[in-house]
Amino acid sequence: MRSRVSWFVVAAALLAACGSSPSTAASSPSPTPSPTLSGNISVFAAASLTASFTALGTSFQAANPGVTVKFNYAGTPTLVTQIEQGAPADVFASADTANMDKMTADGFTAGASLVFAHNQLEIVVAPGNPKGITGLADLAKSGVLYITEGPTVPAGKYALQALKAAGVTVTPKSLETSVTAVISKIELGEADAGIVYTTDVTAAGSKVAGVPIPAAQNVIATYPIVVLKGTTNAAAAYAFTSYVVSVTGQSTLTSFGFLPAT
């Protein structure tokens, strides 16, 4: 096992040097400390990955003491803008494939991206569900203050799809820039309901409550991750992405409520 892992890591490093990337292997063995990994990497990740990626970062750094991982969480379109305007990033984790395709088409990615997780939507409400929301149709009830993400944010786009599938027309009171912004406003009590990912509801714990959306109306979100062309620490960048799709990484993600990559 050890030699297979070392070989894999070295191969990844060599391939990075040639500019191509490893294939979308669904399960790779977890990495063990490699003496060649050091330095810093910057990971730009979608807001819905905040809790899970922070945890992944911690365990990755524990396994690789020479590496420091820094995270930048925001709505996916915001991250895209930042990277395209030259923000220094090594890894990009998107909440949808559309934004990832844009990055690739614009030439910012190093090789093909890896799908590392899926997610589903859930309605988020205040603890105890005081307004008695039972489904998407209730969002249009009078007396319910509904907010969502802007249409360019993956979650916002998915929310519109779900509402369409459910045949519900409702005008949100605000179009926030990320799922975390929606969660904050629900937590603060400023809004009654929003549509976020199931993982966000889990991450917010007892500060919010969730109302599930039936599979027929729900949307499966696909999360790809990629090493960026402008990376300054390819070895560590590839190591991190491999870690995310590894068994350990996947089990961490599923513990936060994500659906596994396959």
Partner 1 sequence: MRRERVPIIVAALAAIGAAFFILPLLGLVVRSPWGDAVKALTAPETIEALKLSLFASLSATAVGLVLGVPLAWVYARVEFPGRDVLRALTTLPMVLPPVVGGIALLLAFGRRGLFGSWLDTTFGITLPFTTAGVVMAETFVAMPFLILTVEAGLRSMDRRYEEAARTLGASRWRVFTRVTLPLIGPSLFAGAALCWARALGEFGATITFAGNFPGVTQTMPLAVYLQLETNQESSFILSLVLLLISLVVLIGLRDRWLGSA
Backbone angles phi, psi at 156, to 5 degrees: -65, -40
The number of C-alpha atoms within 13 Å of 232 and in the hemisphere containing its C-beta is: 9
Question: Token match 């603890």: residue?
Answer: 127
Query: Helix, strand, coil: what percent of the chain each, to 5?
Result: 40, 20, 35
- Phi first, then psi, for residue 135 (nearest 5°) are -170, -175
Token pair for residue 164?
């369409």
Q: Does residue 177 interact with partner 1 by CB under 8 A?
A: yes
188 lies in the site for partner 1, by CB under 8 A: yes
What's the min distance (Å) between Cβ of 81 and partner 1? 5
- 31, 77, 111, 194: which one binds partner 1 (CB under 8 A): 77
User: Is 185 near partner 1 (CB under 8 A)?
Assistant: yes
Q: Which stretch binds partner 1 (CB under 8 A): 113-121, 182-190, 203-211, 212-220?
A: 182-190
Taking residues 119 to 158 in sequence order and writing x for each that binds partner 1 by CB under 8 A, - otherwise, the string is --------------------------x-x--x-x------
Size of the site for partner 1 (CB under 8 A): 19
Member of 172, 210, 249, 257 binding partner 1 (CB under 8 A): 172
Paired residues of 118 in beta bridges: 222, 259
User: Minimum distance from CB of 93 to partner 1 (Å)?
Assistant: 17
Query: What is the DSSP pairing of strand 146-149 with strand 175-176?
Result: parallel
The encoded tokens of residue 87 equal 């923000």
Which of 83/239 has CB closer to partner 1? 83
